Amino acid sequence: MKTETIMVIDDDRDLRESIVEILEDNDFTVTGCDSAETALQKIKFQVPRLVIVDNMMPGMGGMVLIPLFKKDYPGIRIIMITAFSTVDNAVEAMKIGADDYLAKPFKRDELLVAVKRNLEELKFEEQLSESGMDETLSCLSNRIRRQVLAALSKKRKMRFMDITRHLGVSDHTKVNFHLKNLKVNNLISQDGEKVYSLTQHGAKMVDYLHLLSKKISP
């Protein structure tokens, strides 16, 4: 099983090692860095999913590092550690790209909660931009293809010309084009007798569309 990767950047050795230890105890794969400069080098070899970075550090501070990280690795999640928990500080951090912040001193559990919450949110966002969604949604966004699904949902099995006539389309090759598309997207299938029917996945999508149509119209 693959564990989530986290990078911890803090010049304070004691704090850094204690954070690393806590995270490793919770089965994360952790990389520690003692400065922003080191972090910029290490990230080239392994891009973490989550970064925990101290605001105040000698050399490049968190405020400078965050935009650099966000620019090259927009998918990354960043939690900033701030010494003084002023509202200004937090707002400023969020503005430049931090996704969350922790005020020093923080407890073990506060750290873990923040880490887990951010990893959850990250997964949430990633789901929405999954590539499989592109194909499925754009397949469903065509009225003719939805009509085919609706027809097959009722009649279970239909032959090519049955579908064409059912839709009232004069050009059968047009229907064929959309049937192909539906087949590629695994929403319908064709048996040995050339009869079309919904796949299991297709049936699910019909359900989904009805749920959706109720939300859209009223």
Give whichever of 14 and 171 is closer to DNA, judged by the CB atom: 171
For the chain, the straight-line distance linking the first and the last C-alpha, in angstroms and rounded, comes to 45
Residue 173 as a binder of DNA (CB under 7 A): the answer is yes
Closest CA to 111 of 10, 211, 19: 19
Give whichever of 30 and 188 is closer to a copy of itself, judged by the CB atom: 188
Contact call for residues 20 and 5 (beta carbons, < 8 A): no
Contact call for residues 52 and 6 (beta carbons, < 8 A): yes
Give whichever of 94 and 113 is closer to DNA, judged by the CB atom: 94
Paired with 6 in beta bridges are 30, 50
Return the residue of 181, 187, 198, 202 that touches DNA, per CB under 7 A: 181
6 binds, among DNA, a copy of itself, none (CB under 5 to 8 A by kind): none
Please give the full DSSP string across 41-77, using - where no structure is assigned: HHTTT---SEEEEES--SSS-HHHHHHHHHHH-TT-E
Quote the tokens at residue 187: 């929403």
171 binds, among DNA, a copy of itself, none (CB under 5 to 8 A by kind): DNA
Give whichever of 29 and 189 is closer to DNA, judged by the CB atom: 189
Residues 51-110 that bind DNA (CB under 7 A): none
Task: Report in angstroms how near the CB of residue 16 gets to a copy of itself at its nearest.
Answer: 28
Return the residue of 3, 85, 86, 138 that touches DNA, per CB under 7 A: 138
